[in-house]
Structure 1
Protein backbone atom coordinates (compact mmCIF):
# COMPACT_ATOMS: atom_id res chain seq x y z
CA UNK A 1 0.00 0.00 0.00
CA UNK A 2 1.34 3.44 -0.91
CA UNK A 3 1.83 6.15 1.69
CA UNK A 4 -1.05 8.15 0.21
CA UNK A 5 -3.40 5.15 0.22
CA UNK A 6 -2.47 4.35 3.81
CA UNK A 7 -3.13 7.96 4.85
CA UNK A 8 -6.54 7.89 3.12
CA UNK A 9 -7.49 4.71 4.92
CA UNK A 10 -6.30 6.06 8.27
CA UNK A 11 -8.36 9.22 7.77
CA UNK A 12 -11.54 7.26 7.14
CA UNK A 13 -11.11 4.85 10.03
CA UNK A 14 -10.08 7.69 12.31
CA UNK A 15 -13.63 9.02 12.52
CA UNK A 16 -15.55 8.33 15.70
CA UNK A 17 -18.54 5.99 15.42
CA UNK A 18 -21.88 7.69 14.83
CA UNK A 19 -24.94 6.23 16.51
CA UNK A 20 -28.06 5.93 14.32
CA UNK A 21 -31.41 7.51 15.11
CA UNK A 22 -33.15 4.15 14.80
CA UNK A 23 -32.34 0.53 13.98
CA UNK A 24 -34.71 -2.07 12.59
CA UNK A 25 -34.48 -5.72 11.58
CA UNK A 26 -35.48 -6.83 8.11
CA UNK A 27 -35.02 -10.52 8.93
CA UNK A 28 -34.21 -12.92 11.74
CA UNK A 29 -30.43 -13.21 11.31
CA UNK A 30 -28.36 -10.85 13.51
CA UNK A 31 -26.83 -9.27 10.40
CA UNK A 32 -30.23 -8.48 8.88
CA UNK A 33 -30.50 -4.98 10.31
CA UNK A 34 -30.67 -1.42 9.01
CA UNK A 35 -29.54 1.76 10.79
CA UNK A 36 -31.46 4.94 10.02
CA UNK A 37 -29.74 8.33 10.07
CA UNK A 38 -32.23 11.17 9.77
CA UNK A 39 -31.89 14.86 8.91
CA UNK A 40 -32.39 17.21 11.84
CA UNK A 41 -34.32 20.02 10.14
CA UNK A 42 -35.45 18.82 6.71
CA UNK A 43 -36.86 21.45 4.39
CA UNK A 44 -39.44 18.92 3.24
CA UNK A 45 -39.88 15.16 2.93
CA UNK A 46 -36.32 13.81 2.81
CA UNK A 47 -35.26 11.52 -0.04
CA UNK A 48 -34.20 8.08 1.18
CA UNK A 49 -30.72 6.74 0.47
CA UNK A 50 -30.33 2.98 0.91
CA UNK A 51 -26.60 2.67 1.55
CA UNK A 52 -24.53 -0.54 1.36
CA UNK A 53 -21.05 -0.73 2.88
CA UNK A 54 -18.03 -2.37 1.32
CA UNK A 55 -15.30 -4.60 2.66
CA UNK A 56 -15.04 -7.26 -0.04
CA UNK A 57 -18.01 -9.17 1.41
CA UNK A 58 -15.80 -10.25 4.34
CA UNK A 59 -17.06 -10.59 7.90
CA UNK A 60 -14.52 -8.31 9.63
CA UNK A 61 -15.84 -5.30 7.70
CA UNK A 62 -19.28 -4.19 8.83
CA UNK A 63 -21.42 -1.09 8.37
CA UNK A 64 -19.82 0.94 11.17
CA UNK A 65 -17.05 2.39 9.01
CA UNK A 66 -19.67 3.98 6.73
CA UNK A 67 -21.73 5.46 9.58
CA UNK A 68 -19.84 8.80 9.44
CA UNK A 69 -20.79 9.15 5.77
CA UNK A 70 -24.40 8.24 6.58
CA UNK A 71 -24.46 10.97 9.23
CA UNK A 72 -22.89 13.42 6.77
CA UNK A 73 -25.57 12.67 4.18
CA UNK A 74 -28.23 13.18 6.85
CA UNK A 75 -26.76 16.61 7.49
CA UNK A 76 -27.21 17.29 3.78
CA UNK A 77 -30.93 16.59 4.14
CA UNK A 78 -31.14 12.92 3.17
CA UNK A 79 -32.64 10.12 5.21
CA UNK A 80 -30.16 7.24 5.11
CA UNK A 81 -30.81 3.54 5.65
CA UNK A 82 -27.38 1.99 6.26
CA UNK A 83 -27.77 -1.74 5.66
CA UNK A 84 -25.96 -4.69 7.13
CA UNK A 85 -25.97 -8.02 5.31
CA UNK A 86 -24.47 -11.47 5.66
CA UNK A 87 -20.84 -11.73 4.67
CA UNK A 88 -18.16 -14.41 4.98
CA UNK A 89 -17.33 -16.86 6.46
CA UNK A 90 -19.54 -19.43 4.82
CA UNK A 91 -22.21 -21.09 6.98
CA UNK A 92 -20.54 -23.44 9.44
CA UNK A 93 -17.35 -21.37 9.60
CA UNK A 94 -15.98 -20.51 13.02
CA UNK A 95 -15.63 -16.83 13.83
CA UNK A 96 -12.01 -15.81 14.10
CA UNK A 97 -10.80 -18.83 12.11
CA UNK A 98 -9.15 -18.67 8.72
CA UNK A 99 -12.63 -18.95 7.24
CA UNK A 100 -13.45 -15.47 8.53
CA UNK A 101 -11.33 -14.09 5.68
CA UNK A 102 -13.59 -15.60 3.04
CA UNK A 103 -15.75 -13.25 1.00
CA UNK A 104 -19.51 -13.46 1.04
CA UNK A 105 -22.04 -16.26 1.12
CA UNK A 106 -24.04 -17.74 -1.70
CA UNK A 107 -26.96 -17.24 -1.81
CA UNK A 108 -27.39 -15.47 1.56
CA UNK A 109 -25.51 -12.28 0.66
CA UNK A 110 -27.77 -11.77 -2.35
CA UNK A 111 -30.87 -12.72 -0.36
CA UNK A 112 -30.08 -9.90 2.04
CA UNK A 113 -29.34 -7.28 -0.60
CA UNK A 114 -32.68 -7.99 -2.24
CA UNK A 115 -34.53 -8.03 1.09
CA UNK A 116 -33.09 -4.68 2.15
CA UNK A 117 -34.35 -2.91 -0.96
CA UNK A 118 -37.73 -4.62 -0.76
CA UNK A 119 -38.32 -4.02 2.95
CA UNK A 120 -36.76 -0.67 3.86
CA UNK A 121 -39.60 1.57 2.57
CA UNK A 122 -42.05 -0.47 4.65
CA UNK A 123 -39.79 -0.22 7.70
CA UNK A 124 -39.83 3.56 7.36
CA UNK A 125 -43.60 3.47 7.66
CA UNK A 126 -43.61 0.87 10.46
CA UNK A 127 -41.17 2.91 12.52
CA UNK A 128 -43.16 6.09 11.96
CA UNK A 129 -40.17 7.97 10.58
CA UNK A 130 -42.00 11.12 9.63
CA UNK A 131 -40.52 13.42 7.06
CA UNK A 132 -38.97 10.59 5.04
CA UNK A 133 -40.05 10.27 1.43
CA UNK A 134 -39.93 6.48 1.01
CA UNK A 135 -41.15 6.92 -2.56
CA UNK A 136 -37.98 8.79 -3.59
CA UNK A 137 -35.13 6.32 -3.15
CA UNK A 138 -31.52 6.26 -4.30
CA UNK A 139 -29.43 3.10 -4.02
CA UNK A 140 -25.83 3.80 -3.08
CA UNK A 141 -22.86 1.77 -2.00
CA UNK A 142 -19.08 1.65 -1.79
CA UNK A 143 -16.83 -1.05 -3.24
CA UNK A 144 -18.64 -4.38 -2.63
CA UNK A 145 -21.56 -2.19 -1.54
CA UNK A 146 -21.42 -0.50 -4.93
CA UNK A 147 -21.84 -3.92 -6.48
CA UNK A 148 -24.85 -4.46 -4.19
CA UNK A 149 -26.50 -1.22 -5.28
CA UNK A 150 -25.94 -1.91 -8.99
CA UNK A 151 -27.12 -5.50 -8.71
CA UNK A 152 -30.23 -4.52 -6.73
CA UNK A 153 -31.17 -2.12 -9.52
CA UNK A 154 -30.86 -4.91 -12.09
CA UNK A 155 -33.00 -7.66 -10.56
CA UNK A 156 -35.68 -7.30 -13.23
CA UNK A 157 -33.01 -8.36 -15.73
CA UNK A 158 -32.48 -11.71 -14.03
CA UNK A 159 -33.84 -14.76 -15.84
CA UNK A 160 -37.32 -16.10 -15.04
CA UNK A 161 -37.15 -18.47 -12.13
CA UNK A 162 -34.40 -16.61 -10.31
CA UNK A 163 -35.18 -16.28 -6.60
CA UNK A 164 -34.31 -12.57 -6.74
CA UNK A 165 -36.06 -11.56 -9.94
CA UNK A 166 -38.45 -8.61 -9.98
CA UNK A 167 -41.09 -8.30 -12.71
CA UNK A 168 -40.18 -4.66 -13.35
CA UNK A 169 -37.40 -2.27 -12.48
CA UNK A 170 -37.29 -1.30 -8.80
CA UNK A 171 -39.00 2.03 -8.04
CA UNK A 172 -35.84 4.04 -7.41
CA UNK A 173 -34.52 7.37 -8.65
CA UNK A 174 -31.20 5.82 -9.54
CA UNK A 175 -27.92 4.35 -8.33
CA UNK A 176 -24.75 6.08 -7.14
CA UNK A 177 -22.00 3.47 -6.95
CA UNK A 178 -18.70 4.47 -5.35
CA UNK A 179 -15.55 2.67 -6.47
CA UNK A 180 -17.85 -0.25 -7.19
CA UNK A 181 -16.93 -3.84 -7.95
CA UNK A 182 -19.20 -3.20 -10.89
CA UNK A 183 -17.96 -5.75 -13.41
CA UNK A 184 -17.27 -9.08 -11.75
CA UNK A 185 -15.51 -10.56 -14.77
CA UNK A 186 -13.10 -7.61 -14.90
CA UNK A 187 -12.59 -7.77 -11.14
CA UNK A 188 -11.80 -11.49 -11.36
CA UNK A 189 -9.22 -10.84 -14.06
CA UNK A 190 -7.57 -8.21 -11.85
CA UNK A 191 -7.87 -10.42 -8.74
CA UNK A 192 -9.51 -7.54 -6.90
CA UNK A 193 -9.39 -7.76 -3.10
CA UNK A 194 -7.42 -11.02 -3.15
CA UNK A 195 -9.86 -12.96 -5.35
CA UNK A 196 -12.93 -11.84 -3.41
CA UNK A 197 -15.24 -12.40 -6.38
CA UNK A 198 -14.27 -16.05 -6.70
CA UNK A 199 -14.86 -16.53 -2.98
CA UNK A 200 -18.24 -14.78 -3.19
CA UNK A 201 -19.43 -17.04 -6.01
CA UNK A 202 -18.08 -20.24 -4.51
CA UNK A 203 -17.71 -23.52 -6.34
CA UNK A 204 -20.02 -22.80 -9.31
CA UNK A 205 -18.52 -19.64 -10.74
CA UNK A 206 -19.53 -20.19 -14.35
CA UNK A 207 -23.20 -20.75 -13.44
CA UNK A 208 -23.42 -17.97 -10.87
CA UNK A 209 -21.47 -15.21 -12.58
CA UNK A 210 -24.26 -14.26 -15.05
CA UNK A 211 -26.71 -13.95 -12.13
CA UNK A 212 -24.39 -11.90 -9.93
CA UNK A 213 -22.55 -9.60 -12.32
CA UNK A 214 -24.19 -6.16 -12.77
CA UNK A 215 -22.33 -5.70 -16.06
CA UNK A 216 -23.99 -8.85 -17.42
CA UNK A 217 -27.47 -7.54 -16.53
CA UNK A 218 -27.37 -4.31 -18.52
CA UNK A 219 -29.35 -2.38 -19.63
CA UNK A 220 -31.46 -1.74 -16.54
CA UNK A 221 -33.16 1.52 -17.48
CA UNK A 222 -32.24 2.85 -14.03
CA UNK A 223 -30.17 6.08 -14.01
CA UNK A 224 -26.68 5.07 -12.92
CA UNK A 225 -23.70 7.07 -11.70
CA UNK A 226 -20.24 5.68 -10.99
CA UNK A 227 -17.91 7.75 -8.80
CA UNK A 228 -14.35 6.51 -9.10
CA UNK A 229 -11.04 7.62 -7.66
CA UNK A 230 -8.35 7.85 -10.28
CA UNK A 231 -5.63 6.38 -8.05
CA UNK A 232 -7.69 3.61 -6.44
CA UNK A 233 -5.52 0.52 -5.94
CA UNK A 234 -8.17 -1.53 -4.09
CA UNK A 235 -10.77 -1.49 -6.86
CA UNK A 236 -8.85 -0.08 -9.83
CA UNK A 237 -10.57 2.28 -12.28
CA UNK A 238 -10.45 -0.45 -14.95
CA UNK A 239 -13.38 -2.18 -13.21
CA UNK A 240 -15.65 0.87 -13.49
CA UNK A 241 -14.38 1.46 -17.02
CA UNK A 242 -15.32 -2.09 -18.02
CA UNK A 243 -18.85 -1.61 -16.63
CA UNK A 244 -19.15 1.71 -18.46
CA UNK A 245 -18.06 0.08 -21.71
CA UNK A 246 -20.65 -2.68 -21.24
CA UNK A 247 -23.27 -0.02 -20.60
CA UNK A 248 -22.36 1.79 -23.79
CA UNK A 249 -22.69 -1.43 -25.79
CA UNK A 250 -26.06 -2.12 -24.15
CA UNK A 251 -27.33 1.36 -24.97
CA UNK A 252 -27.18 2.64 -21.40
CA UNK A 253 -23.85 4.35 -20.73
CA UNK A 254 -23.61 5.37 -17.07
CA UNK A 255 -22.50 8.77 -15.87
CA UNK A 256 -18.89 8.34 -14.73
CA UNK A 257 -17.39 10.86 -12.32
CA UNK A 258 -13.64 10.32 -12.17
CA UNK A 259 -11.85 12.16 -9.36
CA UNK A 260 -8.15 12.52 -10.04
CA UNK A 261 -5.54 11.88 -7.35
CA UNK A 262 -8.09 10.16 -5.09
CA UNK A 263 -7.96 6.55 -3.97
CA UNK A 264 -10.50 4.11 -2.57
CA UNK A 265 -11.50 5.52 0.80
CA UNK A 266 -11.94 9.30 0.35
CA UNK A 267 -15.25 8.66 -1.43
CA UNK A 268 -16.79 7.66 1.92
CA UNK A 269 -14.72 9.94 4.17
CA UNK A 270 -16.89 12.91 5.20
CA UNK A 271 -13.78 15.04 5.71
CA UNK A 272 -13.01 15.03 1.97
CA UNK A 273 -14.16 16.94 -1.06
CA UNK A 274 -14.74 13.57 -2.76
CA UNK A 275 -17.51 12.71 -0.29
CA UNK A 276 -19.13 16.06 -1.04
CA UNK A 277 -19.10 15.10 -4.71
CA UNK A 278 -20.90 11.89 -3.79
CA UNK A 279 -23.59 13.86 -1.94
CA UNK A 280 -23.95 16.17 -4.94
CA UNK A 281 -24.50 13.20 -7.26
CA UNK A 282 -27.19 11.77 -4.97
CA UNK A 283 -28.86 15.18 -4.82
CA UNK A 284 -28.79 15.43 -8.61
CA UNK A 285 -30.68 12.15 -8.97
CA UNK A 286 -33.29 13.02 -6.35
CA UNK A 287 -33.80 16.48 -7.84
CA UNK A 288 -34.66 14.89 -11.18
CA UNK A 289 -37.40 12.93 -9.44
CA UNK A 290 -38.79 15.71 -7.23
CA UNK A 291 -42.48 16.49 -7.58
CA UNK A 292 -43.05 19.53 -9.78
Structure 2
Protein backbone atom coordinates (compact mmCIF):
# COMPACT_ATOMS: atom_id res chain seq x y z
CA UNK A 1 0.00 0.00 0.00
CA UNK A 2 2.92 2.35 0.71
CA UNK A 3 5.08 1.37 -2.28
CA UNK A 4 6.70 4.18 -4.24
CA UNK A 5 4.25 5.37 -6.91
CA UNK A 6 5.43 8.74 -8.30
CA UNK A 7 8.49 10.98 -7.88
CA UNK A 8 9.66 8.71 -5.06
CA UNK A 9 6.46 9.31 -3.07
CA UNK A 10 4.29 6.59 -1.61
CA UNK A 11 0.55 6.67 -2.28
CA UNK A 12 -0.27 8.63 0.89
CA UNK A 13 2.15 11.40 -0.09
CA UNK A 14 0.97 11.38 -3.70
CA UNK A 15 -2.62 11.78 -2.52
CA UNK A 16 -1.54 14.67 -0.30
CA UNK A 17 0.28 16.32 -3.22
CA UNK A 18 -2.78 16.08 -5.45
CA UNK A 19 -5.39 17.13 -2.90
CA UNK A 20 -5.43 20.92 -3.19
CA UNK A 21 -8.61 21.30 -1.15
CA UNK A 22 -6.99 19.52 1.79
CA UNK A 23 -3.84 21.59 1.27
CA UNK A 24 -5.91 24.81 1.36
CA UNK A 25 -8.49 24.50 4.18
CA UNK A 26 -10.03 27.88 3.35
CA UNK A 27 -10.95 26.80 -0.21
CA UNK A 28 -14.70 26.91 0.54
CA UNK A 29 -14.42 30.63 1.27
CA UNK A 30 -13.10 31.18 -2.24
CA UNK A 31 -15.97 29.12 -3.71
CA UNK A 32 -18.57 31.17 -1.81
CA UNK A 33 -17.06 34.47 -2.87
CA UNK A 34 -16.76 33.42 -6.51
CA UNK A 35 -20.42 32.36 -6.53
CA UNK A 36 -21.57 35.66 -4.99
CA UNK A 37 -19.46 37.83 -7.32
CA UNK A 38 -20.56 35.74 -10.31
CA UNK A 39 -24.22 36.29 -9.46
CA UNK A 40 -23.60 40.04 -9.48
CA UNK A 41 -21.83 39.85 -12.85
CA UNK A 42 -24.74 37.99 -14.42
CA UNK A 43 -27.12 40.57 -13.01
CA UNK A 44 -25.18 43.59 -14.23
CA UNK A 45 -23.79 42.48 -17.60
CA UNK A 46 -25.39 41.51 -20.89
CA UNK A 47 -25.20 37.72 -20.97
CA UNK A 48 -26.65 34.88 -23.00
CA UNK A 49 -26.90 31.88 -20.73
CA UNK A 50 -26.87 28.14 -21.40
CA UNK A 51 -25.98 28.28 -25.08
CA UNK A 52 -25.75 24.65 -26.22
CA UNK A 53 -22.65 23.68 -28.19
CA UNK A 54 -23.37 19.94 -28.08
CA UNK A 55 -25.96 17.35 -27.06
CA UNK A 56 -24.61 16.41 -23.61
CA UNK A 57 -26.51 17.69 -20.56
CA UNK A 58 -23.64 20.00 -19.56
CA UNK A 59 -22.42 20.95 -23.02
CA UNK A 60 -23.43 24.57 -22.56
CA UNK A 61 -21.75 27.92 -22.06
CA UNK A 62 -22.59 31.38 -20.76
CA UNK A 63 -21.58 34.19 -23.09
CA UNK A 64 -21.02 37.79 -21.95
CA UNK A 65 -21.33 40.17 -24.86
CA UNK A 66 -18.58 42.73 -25.54
CA UNK A 67 -19.11 46.46 -25.43
CA UNK A 68 -18.37 46.63 -29.16
CA UNK A 69 -18.63 44.11 -31.99
CA UNK A 70 -15.37 42.66 -33.22
CA UNK A 71 -13.83 42.31 -29.76
CA UNK A 72 -11.46 39.48 -28.83
CA UNK A 73 -12.94 36.61 -26.79
CA UNK A 74 -11.60 35.04 -23.60
CA UNK A 75 -13.31 31.66 -23.13
CA UNK A 76 -12.75 30.04 -19.72
CA UNK A 77 -12.91 26.39 -18.61
CA UNK A 78 -13.50 25.71 -14.92
CA UNK A 79 -11.58 23.15 -12.87
CA UNK A 80 -12.81 20.76 -10.18
CA UNK A 81 -10.78 17.63 -11.01
CA UNK A 82 -12.98 16.94 -14.04
CA UNK A 83 -15.89 16.14 -11.69
CA UNK A 84 -17.20 19.25 -9.90
CA UNK A 85 -17.86 23.01 -10.06
CA UNK A 86 -19.83 24.83 -12.75
CA UNK A 87 -19.56 27.56 -15.35
CA UNK A 88 -21.81 29.72 -13.18
CA UNK A 89 -19.11 29.86 -10.50
CA UNK A 90 -16.81 31.66 -12.93
CA UNK A 91 -18.88 34.54 -14.29
CA UNK A 92 -17.02 36.96 -12.03
CA UNK A 93 -14.02 37.64 -14.35
CA UNK A 94 -16.42 38.86 -17.07
CA UNK A 95 -16.52 42.42 -15.72
CA UNK A 96 -12.75 42.93 -15.85
CA UNK A 97 -12.46 41.38 -19.30
CA UNK A 98 -15.31 43.51 -20.63
CA UNK A 99 -13.56 46.63 -19.34
CA UNK A 100 -10.44 45.44 -21.17
CA UNK A 101 -12.45 45.25 -24.40
CA UNK A 102 -13.12 41.50 -24.46
CA UNK A 103 -16.12 39.26 -24.76
CA UNK A 104 -16.09 36.49 -22.14
CA UNK A 105 -17.48 32.96 -22.08
CA UNK A 106 -17.64 30.39 -19.27
CA UNK A 107 -17.81 26.80 -20.51
CA UNK A 108 -19.37 23.70 -18.96
CA UNK A 109 -18.67 20.11 -20.00
CA UNK A 110 -19.91 16.68 -18.98
CA UNK A 111 -17.87 15.32 -16.09
CA UNK A 112 -16.65 12.14 -14.41
CA UNK A 113 -17.84 9.57 -13.66
CA UNK A 114 -20.41 10.05 -16.44
CA UNK A 115 -17.84 10.60 -19.20
CA UNK A 116 -14.12 9.96 -19.59
CA UNK A 117 -11.42 12.62 -19.70
CA UNK A 118 -10.78 11.97 -23.43
CA UNK A 119 -14.49 12.65 -24.02
CA UNK A 120 -14.20 15.92 -22.06
CA UNK A 121 -11.26 16.88 -24.28
CA UNK A 122 -13.45 16.34 -27.35
CA UNK A 123 -16.28 18.37 -25.82
CA UNK A 124 -14.01 21.36 -25.20
CA UNK A 125 -12.73 21.13 -28.76
CA UNK A 126 -16.35 21.07 -29.92
CA UNK A 127 -17.05 24.17 -27.80
CA UNK A 128 -14.16 26.06 -29.40
CA UNK A 129 -15.35 25.05 -32.88
CA UNK A 130 -18.90 26.16 -32.03
CA UNK A 131 -17.69 29.53 -30.77
CA UNK A 132 -15.57 30.07 -33.86
CA UNK A 133 -18.45 29.22 -36.17
CA UNK A 134 -20.85 31.56 -34.29
CA UNK A 135 -18.43 34.49 -33.97
CA UNK A 136 -20.43 36.88 -36.13
CA UNK A 137 -23.65 36.21 -34.23
CA UNK A 138 -21.82 36.58 -30.91
CA UNK A 139 -20.08 39.78 -32.04
CA UNK A 140 -16.48 38.77 -31.44
CA UNK A 141 -13.45 38.50 -33.73
CA UNK A 142 -12.84 34.82 -34.61
CA UNK A 143 -9.18 35.62 -35.29
CA UNK A 144 -8.71 36.59 -31.63
CA UNK A 145 -10.19 33.66 -29.75
CA UNK A 146 -8.28 32.94 -26.54
CA UNK A 147 -8.96 29.89 -24.37
CA UNK A 148 -8.00 29.68 -20.70
CA UNK A 149 -8.66 27.29 -17.85
CA UNK A 150 -7.86 26.59 -14.23
CA UNK A 151 -6.59 23.26 -12.85
CA UNK A 152 -8.45 20.51 -14.75
CA UNK A 153 -9.68 23.32 -16.98
CA UNK A 154 -6.07 24.27 -17.67
CA UNK A 155 -5.43 20.70 -18.78
CA UNK A 156 -8.44 20.82 -21.12
CA UNK A 157 -7.37 24.20 -22.52
CA UNK A 158 -3.91 22.89 -23.41
CA UNK A 159 -5.41 19.77 -24.99
CA UNK A 160 -7.47 22.13 -27.16
CA UNK A 161 -4.28 23.99 -28.09
CA UNK A 162 -2.83 20.70 -29.36
CA UNK A 163 -5.78 20.17 -31.73
CA UNK A 164 -5.19 19.98 -35.47
CA UNK A 165 -8.15 22.21 -36.26
CA UNK A 166 -7.81 21.95 -40.02
CA UNK A 167 -7.67 18.14 -40.09
CA UNK A 168 -10.23 17.48 -37.35
CA UNK A 169 -12.75 20.31 -37.85
CA UNK A 170 -12.03 21.91 -41.21
CA UNK A 171 -11.19 25.16 -39.41
CA UNK A 172 -8.15 27.43 -39.74
CA UNK A 173 -4.98 26.01 -38.14
CA UNK A 174 -4.85 29.06 -35.86
CA UNK A 175 -8.47 28.78 -34.69
CA UNK A 176 -7.09 29.53 -31.22
CA UNK A 177 -5.01 32.70 -31.01
CA UNK A 178 -3.55 31.54 -27.71
CA UNK A 179 -4.14 29.50 -24.57
CA UNK A 180 -3.67 30.23 -20.87
CA UNK A 181 -3.39 27.48 -18.27
CA UNK A 182 -3.62 28.44 -14.60
CA UNK A 183 -2.45 25.74 -12.14
CA UNK A 184 -2.89 23.15 -14.86
CA UNK A 185 -2.20 19.43 -14.94
CA UNK A 186 -0.17 18.18 -17.88
CA UNK A 187 0.61 14.54 -17.00
CA UNK A 188 -2.30 12.34 -15.92
CA UNK A 189 -0.11 9.39 -14.89
CA UNK A 190 -0.05 10.23 -11.16
CA UNK A 191 -3.84 10.66 -11.12
CA UNK A 192 -4.22 7.03 -12.20
CA UNK A 193 -2.28 5.99 -9.08
CA UNK A 194 -4.10 8.29 -6.66
CA UNK A 195 -7.30 8.63 -4.64
CA UNK A 196 -8.91 10.13 -7.76
CA UNK A 197 -8.65 6.92 -9.80
CA UNK A 198 -11.95 5.31 -8.63
CA UNK A 199 -13.83 8.26 -10.16
CA UNK A 200 -11.61 9.13 -13.11
CA UNK A 201 -10.97 5.50 -14.18
CA UNK A 202 -7.86 6.32 -16.20
CA UNK A 203 -6.30 3.47 -18.15
CA UNK A 204 -2.90 3.69 -19.83
CA UNK A 205 -4.44 4.53 -23.20
CA UNK A 206 -6.31 7.50 -21.70
CA UNK A 207 -3.20 8.69 -19.85
CA UNK A 208 -1.18 8.66 -23.06
CA UNK A 209 -3.88 10.16 -25.30
CA UNK A 210 -5.09 12.87 -22.91
CA UNK A 211 -1.83 14.03 -21.27
CA UNK A 212 -0.42 17.16 -22.89
CA UNK A 213 3.04 16.04 -21.73
CA UNK A 214 3.02 13.17 -24.25
CA UNK A 215 1.41 14.93 -27.20
CA UNK A 216 3.52 17.97 -28.07
CA UNK A 217 4.25 18.12 -31.81
CA UNK A 218 7.72 19.32 -32.86
CA UNK A 219 7.58 22.90 -34.07
CA UNK A 220 9.18 21.70 -37.31
CA UNK A 221 5.99 19.69 -37.93
CA UNK A 222 3.40 22.08 -36.55
CA UNK A 223 3.99 25.45 -34.91
CA UNK A 224 1.40 25.94 -32.15
CA UNK A 225 -0.18 29.23 -31.04
CA UNK A 226 0.91 31.13 -27.95
CA UNK A 227 0.86 29.38 -24.55
CA UNK A 228 0.90 31.04 -21.14
CA UNK A 229 1.13 29.07 -17.88
CA UNK A 230 1.01 30.18 -14.25
CA UNK A 231 1.16 28.34 -10.94
CA UNK A 232 1.22 29.50 -7.32
CA UNK A 233 4.28 29.01 -5.13
CA UNK A 234 1.88 28.14 -2.29
CA UNK A 235 0.48 25.18 -4.26
CA UNK A 236 1.78 21.68 -3.65
CA UNK A 237 5.12 20.63 -5.11
CA UNK A 238 3.44 18.34 -7.65
CA UNK A 239 1.47 21.15 -9.29
CA UNK A 240 4.56 23.35 -9.47
CA UNK A 241 6.68 20.54 -10.90
CA UNK A 242 4.03 19.59 -13.46
CA UNK A 243 4.30 23.09 -14.93
CA UNK A 244 8.12 23.00 -14.93
CA UNK A 245 8.22 19.56 -16.57
CA UNK A 246 5.73 20.56 -19.24
CA UNK A 247 7.43 23.88 -19.95
CA UNK A 248 10.71 22.00 -20.43
CA UNK A 249 9.12 19.48 -22.82
CA UNK A 250 7.38 22.32 -24.68
CA UNK A 251 10.70 24.12 -25.17
CA UNK A 252 12.44 20.89 -26.22
CA UNK A 253 9.84 20.51 -28.97
CA UNK A 254 10.73 23.98 -30.25
CA UNK A 255 7.44 25.54 -29.12
CA UNK A 256 7.38 28.82 -27.20
CA UNK A 257 5.64 29.70 -23.96
CA UNK A 258 5.55 32.22 -21.14
CA UNK A 259 5.47 30.94 -17.56
CA UNK A 260 4.95 32.52 -14.16
CA UNK A 261 5.35 31.19 -10.63
CA UNK A 262 3.48 33.46 -8.24
CA UNK A 263 4.72 33.89 -4.65
CA UNK A 264 2.01 33.58 -2.00
CA UNK A 265 -0.70 32.33 -4.36
CA UNK A 266 -2.35 28.99 -3.64
CA UNK A 267 -4.47 26.83 -5.93
CA UNK A 268 -7.55 28.95 -5.29
CA UNK A 269 -6.29 32.48 -4.60
CA UNK A 270 -4.53 32.38 -7.98
CA UNK A 271 -7.96 32.37 -9.66
CA UNK A 272 -8.64 35.86 -8.30
CA UNK A 273 -6.00 37.17 -10.71
CA UNK A 274 -8.50 36.57 -13.53
CA UNK A 275 -10.65 39.43 -12.27
CA UNK A 276 -7.82 41.86 -11.48
CA UNK A 277 -6.84 43.94 -14.49
CA UNK A 278 -3.63 45.04 -12.71
CA UNK A 279 -2.39 41.48 -12.21
CA UNK A 280 0.36 39.93 -14.36
CA UNK A 281 -1.82 36.87 -15.10
CA UNK A 282 -4.69 39.01 -16.37
CA UNK A 283 -2.36 41.09 -18.54
CA UNK A 284 -0.69 37.95 -19.94
CA UNK A 285 -4.06 36.49 -20.92
CA UNK A 286 -5.01 39.72 -22.67
CA UNK A 287 -1.71 39.73 -24.59
CA UNK A 288 -2.57 36.32 -26.04
CA UNK A 289 -5.19 38.06 -28.20
CA UNK A 290 -2.64 40.39 -29.82
TM over 0.5: yes
CA distance in structure 1 between the aligned counterparts of 2:143 and 2:72, rounded to whole angstroms: 8
Matched, 1:112 2:123: yes
Alignment partner, residue 129 of structure 1: 138
**Tell me, which stretches of 5 or more residues in structure 1 are unaligned?**
91-103, 288-292
Alignment partner, residue 196 of structure 2: 195
Q: Conserved in 2, the CA contact under 8 Å of 1:48 and 1:138?
A: yes
Alignment partner, residue 181 of structure 2: 177
Residue in structure 2 matching 1:283, options 262, 283, 286: 286
Q: Identify if the C-alpha distance between structure 1 residues 273 and 260 changes in structure 2 by more than 3 Å, giving closer, same or farther.
A: farther
User: When the two structures are aligned, how many residues end up with a matched partner?
Assistant: 257
Residue in structure 1 matching 2:74, options 38, 41, 49: 49
Alignment partner, residue 24 of structure 2: 5
Alignment partner, residue 96 of structure 1: none
Alignment partner, residue 260 of structure 2: 257
Per-residue CA deviations over 1:65-95 (Å, capped at 9, x if unaligned) read: 21112343223221112111000222xxxxx
Q: Identify if the C-alpha distance between structure 1 residues 122 and 166 changes in structure 2 by more than 3 Å, giving closer, same or farther.
A: closer
Residue in structure 1 matching 2:215, options 214, 217, 220: 217
Alignment partner, residue 149 of structure 2: 141
CA distance in structure 2 between the aligned counterparts of 1:286 and 1:86, rounded to whole angstroms: 28
1:118: Cα distance to partner?
Answer: 1.0
Matched, 1:87 2:111: yes
1:266: Cα distance to partner?
Answer: 2.0
2:234 is paired with a residue whose SS is coil
Matched, 1:70 2:94: yes
**Tell me, which stretches of 5 or more residues in structure 2 are unaligned?**
1-19, 218-222
Q: TM-score, normalised by structure 1?
A: 0.76
Alignment partner, residue 36 of structure 1: 63
Per-residue CA deviations over 1:218-238 (Å, capped at 9, x if unaligned) read: 145221110111111396211
CA distance in structure 2 between the aligned counterparts of 1:49 and 1:230, rounded to whole angstroms: 25
1:207: Cα distance to partner?
Answer: 1.7
RMSD: 3.1
Matched, 1:229 2:232: yes
Alignment partner, residue 52 of structure 2: 25
Alignment partner, residue 153 of structure 1: 161
